[in-house]
Structure 1
Amino acid sequence: MTGLSIVVPVYKSGPGLRELHTRIVAALDSLTADWELILIDDASNDGTFSKMQDLRNLDPRVKTIRFAKNMGQHHATLCGLQKSKGNVVVTIDDDLQHRPEDIPKLLHKLEEGFDLVIGKISNTKKHHGLRNFGSRLVQKMTERVVGKPPHLGLTSFRAMSRRAADSIATYRGTQTYLPALMFGSVPPDLIANVDIEHAERAYGSSNYTPAKLIGLASFLLINHSYIPLRAVTAWGIMLSIASFLYALWILAHALIFGSSAIGWPSLAVLVAFLSGNILLCMGILGEYIGRLVEESAHSRQFPILEDES
């Protein structure tokens, strides 16, 4: 059993890996010599994995894993949790916006009896406005869906006990949203925040596009809640009630004023409206069914091409 595992999901960040390793070594060697660094390449396909191998040749404490297919940061991190051997596991991004020098802060807080400590950004996030807005929106959704306490901040910079890592790593799906797994595995009273600084990105640009943020939100809503299905059910009930009231109005109008041929435009609009709602409901149900089929069709959880862990 290793004392400490550092898990880093990697995607197209080859130029910054040497600095990341150097700063992690400086932060950890003063604490313990018993640690491992697990780098998971999420199918970068730009030479990043060869830079990871260079680090492994330089330092045997570096473990490398390479995905054949891009699966996203959360899924790559989950793979690292499963591969980790440390009594304590730290997750941190590859872009150096979370400072490796803050790792001791998380570890000291963990020693107070918590099972999960999450870095909470104390300064302004160094992302563009759309990314910050999307992050805040997803955090609000996490409060609603999985019961995250409002005072707890979320980042990908975390330290956790072995039992917390093992509990989170029991998830065997492929559509991963880590905060949902964390709050389903660790009681909120055993989760704490530590203030950290958010630095400017030193290399390249963010790989988090609006489409990826929407994908993460869909994992949260569809894989970890019934909100879309219940919303469609409520909408269907409202439409049924409205249709029934409209039918009563038509009946009353016919009894009082007699029947006439007028009203075909409104009837056509009503039919089109109801047909659109039926297609919407079918699309939501189809999304659930498609994800179930995708989960059952995977012969393995992680598309690992090379594993030197």
Structure 2
Amino acid sequence: MNIDISVVVPVYNSSLSITELVTRIINTLEKDKATFEIILVDDSSADDSLAKITALSEGDPRVLTISLKNNSGQQATIKTGIKSAVGDVVVTMDDDLEQQPEDIPLLVSELRKGYDVIYGAPNRTGYPFYRQFGSNVVDLFFTICLHKPKNKRVSSFRVMNRKTVDTIIADDTPFVYITAITLGFTKNIGNMTVDYQKRKYGKSNYTIRKLIKLFLNLFYYYGRTYE
């Protein structure tokens, strides 16, 4: 059976949110009458996330579970899931319920107007200063070094066509960053402003140290690649 949509979710310590997220994805895509698969990639969680997603996959053959032995980080975890995705369209989204599964059909509809990627950009502010500052610095890097269109915003909530997915899979850059890889070969991107909710459970894994390390790796691996 042909799969219309693959949804890839990197999972890390999200035991309290993952069941609700998967249930809402299923309800949304069933209502949209799409054939789909949901790929849950556990990034060596310290809680019982793996047990939760294993139970979900045992209860529904459309839900697939991948378990990483070592913590690899969000971007590499996403790429692992993308490698297993067979859908004509691939969606990536976070596991914390900030991004709303109900917006997936809107993003897919926009993608089918001829874009390579559509990003779901957040409609709210109020993030911690260091996180907002880090996002702004990374966005500036994308604009200056990778020539991202200035009027476009990017995020981890994205839908991609098959050509984009296959290009990401083929890329062998040691430091994986999905948006950097994408901007290296296409500027045919769009975005839609969508609803982001405040996180229900836990707290963000972002720290100032991680953001500094991220920027240094981005510059080293991607800063001169696409000049």
Query: Do the aligned residues in 2 keep the contact of 1:14 with 1:51 (CA within 8 Å)?
Result: yes
State whether structure 2 residue 210 is matched by structure 1 residue 212. Answer: yes
Structure 1, gaps ≥5 residues long: 228-309
Q: Residue type matched to 1:225 in 2?
A: G
TM-score normalised by length of structure 2 = 0.94
Deviation at 1:46, TM superposition (A): 2.0
Deviation at 1:210, TM superposition (A): 1.7
Name 2:25's counterpart in structure 1: 24
Name 1:199's counterpart in structure 2: 197
Residue identity over aligned pairs, in percent, reads 38
Query: 2-side partners of 1:100 and 1:128: how far apart?
Result: 24
Q: Residue type matched to 1:92 in 2?
A: M
Structure 2, gaps ≥5 residues long: none
Query: 1-side partners of 2:141 and 2:31: how far apart?
Result: 39
Q: Residue type matched to 2:39 in 1?
A: I
RMSD across aligned positions (CA): 1.5
Name 2:147's counterpart in structure 1: 147
Name 1:297's counterpart in structure 2: none
Q: Residue type matched to 1:196 in 2?
A: V
State whether structure 2 residue 52 is matched by structure 1 residue 54. Answer: no
Larger Rg: 1
Deviation at 1:197, TM superposition (A): 1.6
Structure holding more helix per residue: 1
Deviation at 1:37, TM superposition (A): 0.3
Name 1:86's counterpart in structure 2: 87
Deviation at 1:129, TM superposition (A): 1.8
Mean Cα displacement is larger for which, 205-214 or 161-170? 205-214
Q: 1:226 to 1:174 in 2, by over 3 A?
A: closer
Q: How many residues align?
A: 224
Name 2:116's counterpart in structure 1: 115
Query: Do the aligned residues in 1 keep the contact of 2:5 with 2:34 (CA within 8 Å)?
Result: no
Tell me which stretches of 4 or more aligned residues in structure 1 moved more than 4 Å: none
Query: Do the aligned residues in 2 keep the contact of 1:118 with 1:155 (CA within 8 Å)?
Result: yes
Name 2:138's counterpart in structure 1: 138
Q: Deviations over 1:250-287 (max 9, x none)?
A: xxxxxxxxxxxxxxxxxxxxxxxxxxxxxxxxxxxxxx
Query: Do the aligned residues in 2 keep the contact of 1:168 with 1:182 (CA within 8 Å)?
Result: yes
Deviation at 1:226, TM superposition (A): 4.0
TM-score normalised by length of structure 1 = 0.70
Deviation at 1:122, TM superposition (A): 2.5
Q: Residue type matched to 1:132 in 2?
A: Q
Q: Residue type matched to 1:118 in 2?
A: Y
Q: 1:184 to 1:210 in 2, by over 3 A?
A: same
Query: Do the aligned residues in 2 keep the contact of 1:176 with 1:219 (CA within 8 Å)?
Result: no
Query: 1-side partners of 2:34 and 2:123: how far apart?
Result: 30
